[in-house]
Amino acid sequence: MNLLASQILERFRAQGLIVDHQGFDPLLQRISPIEECQPGDLVFVDHAKYLERVRSQHPSGVVISEPLGAELLGQPGLAILIAPNVRLAMAILKQAFADRNVRDTEWPPIHPSAIIHDTVTIPVDTIIGPGVVIGRDVRLGERVVVMANVVIEHGASIGSRTVLHPSCVIGYGCQIGADVILKSGCIIGSEGFGFAQDEQRRNYRIPQTGTVIIEDRVIIGANTNIDRATYGCTHIHRGVVIDAMCHLAHNVEVGEDSIICAHTGLSGSTRIGKRVFASGQTGTLDHVHVPDDTFLLHRAGVSSSIKTSGAYAGAPIQPLQQYLKNTAALFKLHEIWTRFKWVEKKLT
C-alpha cells in the first residue's frame, strides 16, 4: 500500500468516499482488521465499541464517521479519514489496495494445455489458465481472466475485465457482460428442467434452446447454477449479487442490484424486481413476481406473486410483522393448547 493518508483523501474525495482528513499524516502500509491492528495499519471503524482498540493498539490510520472520529482527535500519530459510509469505503479501498490480483499467475499468460478453437481471437492482455477449453466463435473482451479448467462453449461471449474462476462452465450462446465475477464451479447455461408426461406418467425431455444473459457487474458465488431458457433468455440484470449454491431455473429474471443469498432456489419464469433482497434458502414457485425493493426473510416461500413491496418472511410468506407475532405465539402453542383443553373440559 505505502500511501500517506493525505494521498488517500486526494484519490477518493472527488467521488465522496473520503471527505476529510484530520490529525496526522503518517505512511499507511497495510489494511488490517481492527482486532489485529498495529502501527502502520489502516483500519475501518463503524461502531463506538472499537474506539478503545484504536487507542490501545495504535494503528496509523482509521476510516470512520465524523461523530466517532471526533472522539479520536488528538490520538498521537493517528490519521483520521472521514467517510459518510464506512462500509462502502472499506469495499472500495480494499478493492484498490488489498484485493487478490487475479492477473498474477505462475503460468504463461496462455497456458499451453489450453484448447482454443481457431476461430477465437485472444486479446493480448487475456489470461487463460491450465486445462481451459474455449469453443468455436467465442468472443472475449479485453483483460478477461479465465482460470484453470474453465469451459466456454461455442458462440458464448465474455465481456471485458470479467473473471472466471476455476471450473466454471459457460454454455453455448450465453452472454456474460463486463466486470462480472463468476466464482469456482458456476454453471451458466445448463439445460433447464423441462419435461412432459404421457398417460403412463413417463417423462419426455423438452429441449431447452434459449440462452442466459448476464449483464455487467454481476457477481455469482461458487457452485451456483443458472439454467438456460426454454425459449428466449434467463436474464440477470446489472449489479446483481448471487451467493454460493443457488439455483435459478429457466426463464428467471432478476432485476438490477438485487441480492440472492445462499441455497436460494428460483423456479422457472420467476421475475424478481430491482433491489430485492432474498435471504438464505428463499424459494419461489414458478411464474411468480416479486416487486422492487422487497425483502424476503427467514426461508421465505413465495407461492404466489407479491403485489406490494415490503418485508415478508416464512413459508408461505406473511408480512414480516405478522410473521414475527405468529412465531412468538408458536413458542407458547403447547401452553395455549393445554389451557384450551382445560376450558373445554370445564364447559362440557
- Cβ neighbors of 262 (< 8 A, separation 6 or more) are 221, 243, 244, 245, 246, 280, 281
Residue type, 224: T
Q: What is the grid cell recorded at 326?
A: 405468529
250 has catalytic annotation: yes
Task: Count the neighbouring beta carbons within 10 Å of the beta carbon of residue 249.
Answer: 23
Cβ-count burial of 328 within 10 angstroms (0-12 exposed, 13-18 middle, 19+ buried)? exposed
Cα 162 from Cα 125, distance rounded (Å)? 12
Q: Check 250, 287, 298, 334 and give the catalytic one.
A: 250
User: Chain centroid to CA 82: how far?
Assistant: 27
Q: Cα 23 vs. chain centroid, distance in angstroms?
A: 36
**Terminus-to-terminus CA distance in the chain, angstroms?**
80
Residue 152's Cβ-count burial label (10 Å; 0-12, 13-18, 19+) is buried
| Alpha-carbon 327 to chain mean position | 29
Any idea what the Cα angle at residue 262 is, between residues 258 and 268, rounded to 5°?
65
Residue 4 neighbours by CB under 8 Å, 6+ apart: 25, 26, 27, 28
Active-site annotation, residues? 250
